[in-house]
């Protein structure tokens, strides 16, 4: 039996997909890591995991509650542990929180065991997607738009170290983003084989 038959799941459009590495979604808050990652996993027929959801479920608290009670450093520690554990499992789609790719140890783990995909979006697109939700504690400041800009400027150089980059503009639907991510992944035969 060939490798592709042996590992294959069916994509929703009927193609066989053999995913050899965990796809790790990285990028700013509002880039679509959770929404696109979930849809991508469904399309590829592999499990979807989100590090934020894993942390919330284990703590039985929301992210804002964890930041408030235990602080950001505690959250970052949990985030690294969760990502390390999830990367040891079978290939899947793993969406991370926007700060996860900042720590060098996290970037190293991700590049050793998975393939990172930066969902790159302009500040205005990001702001439009996050402005109405109060679930991101880092944006609970007097001027959340300015905070988002400062985070964006500090983080872009690190996100640019990701293995692959897919642009998310204001016009592209979640399903179209999935098409773009699959096309990017399929350029790497060590990551994704489609037939
Ligand atoms: N390409 C897109 N088109 C339309 N809405 C999107 C797109 N990507 C994300 N969204 C929406 O933007 C919001 C933030 O997306 P989310 O996946 O939570 O981002 P992240 O996990 O990167 O912070 C959600 O309401 C999501 O449905
Ligand atoms: O950018 C960040 O530092 C964070 C992003 C959030 O995840 P999303 O990027 O999925 O919103 C969440 O992990 C936490 O609020 C911190
Ligand atoms: Mg998310």
Ligand 1 proximity of 55 Cβ (cutoff 6 Å): no
d(CA 156, CA 159): 5
User: What pTM does this model have?
Assistant: 0.95
Mean pLDDT of 137-166: 98
Nearest Cα residue to 188 out of 21, 10, 15: 21
d(CA 186, CA 176): 15
Per-residue pLDDT tens for 155-194? 999 999 999 999 999 999 999 999 999 999 999 999 999 9
d(CA 60, CA 53): 10
Residue 131 token pair: 């402005």
For the chain, state the CA radius of gyration.
Answer: 17
Centre of ligand 3 to C-alpha 29, Å, is 7
Helix (H) or strand (E) holding 165: strand 164-167
Most ligand 1 atoms within 8 A of CB, residue of 25, 27, 30, 178 to mutate = 30
Most ligand 2 atoms within 8 A of CB, residue of 95, 98, 106 to mutate = 98
- Write the CB contacts of 132 (distance below 8 Å, at least 6 apart in sequence): none
Domain ranges of the chain: 3-183
Residue 13 token pair: 């459009």
Per-residue pLDDT tens for 15-44? 788 999 999 999 999 999 999 999 999 999
Q: Look at the domain 3-183 and name its fold.
A: Rossmann fold (3.40.50)
């Amino acid at each position: 039996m060939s490798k592709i038959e042996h590992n294959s799941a069916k994509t929703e459009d009927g193609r066989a997909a053999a995913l050899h590495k965990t796809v790790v979604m990285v990028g700013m808050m509002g880039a679509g890591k959770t929404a696109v990652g979930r849809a991508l996993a469904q399309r590829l027929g592999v499990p979807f995991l989100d590090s934020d959801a894993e942390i919330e479920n284990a703590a039985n608290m929301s992210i804002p509650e964890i930041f408030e009670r235990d602080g950001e450093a505690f959250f970052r520690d949990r985030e690294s542990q969760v990502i390390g554990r999830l990367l040891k499992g079978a290939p899947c789609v793993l969406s991370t929180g926007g700060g996860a790719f900042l720590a060098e140890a996290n970037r190293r783990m991700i590049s050793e065991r998975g393939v990172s995909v930066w969902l790159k979006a302009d500040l205005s697109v990001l702001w439009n997607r996050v402005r109405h939700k109060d679930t991101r504690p880092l944006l609970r400041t007097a001027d959340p738009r300015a905070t988002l800009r400062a985070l964006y400027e500090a983080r872009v150089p690190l996100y640019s170290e990701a293995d692959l980059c897919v642009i998310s503009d204001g016009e592209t639907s979640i399903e179209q983003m999935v098409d773009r991510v699959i096309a990017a992944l399929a350029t790497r035969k060590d990551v994704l084989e489609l037939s």
